[in-house]
Amino acid sequence: MKTAIYPGSFDPVTYGHIDIIKRGANLFDKLIVAVLLNPSKKPLFSVEERVELLKAVTYDIPNVEIDYFDGLLVDYAKKVNANAIIKGLRMVSDFEYEFQMALINKKLNPSLETIFLMTSAKYGYLSSSVVKEIAQFGGCLSEFVPDIVAQKLKEKFLDN
């Protein structure tokens, strides 16, 4: 069975991520969407909230699993028997960092491939950071995130 991991912060998941999830799930028997527990970042949503939102927006894709991990991605890949890492690329500006990560991960585990999917043109500008900024100022989110995510974002900024 061929398994891929789609790692990220997903703080929160956007339509851009969902596009990559659907396309990645078509290429592999199983796609594990894995939220990184990164103590050095200050996320808006807890890992539990991010996992819950990812589960809600992917419930209709049978070969997608949602999980979280800490430490190195290559170690997590070994643990779940993954063959590949899926990453989405938006702009040239993503490339340098992603290229470095792909080379490092290849060095750490030569049998683990990184596969890049070019974002669909309509999501090229989209990021979780931009979505949070729009939410903070009460802007309309309907084109960027599913309703359940928009609702959670509103609650977050009402609470703060």
| CA of residue 106 relative to chain centroid, distance | 20
For ligand PNS, the closer of residues 133 and 138 by Cβ is 133
122 is known as an active-site residue: no
128 is known as an active-site residue: yes
For ligand PNS, the closer of residues 56 and 104 by Cβ is 104
Instruction: State yes or no: residue 72 binds ligand PNS (CB under 6 A).
Output: yes
17 is known as an active-site residue: yes
Instruction: State yes or no: residue 73 binds ligand PNS (CB under 6 A).
Output: yes
The number of residues that bind ligand PNS (CB under 6 A) is 8
90 is known as an active-site residue: yes
Site map 85..104 versus ligand PNS, x via CB under 6 A: ----------------x--x
User: Which residues have a catalytic role annotated?
Assistant: 17, 41, 90, 128
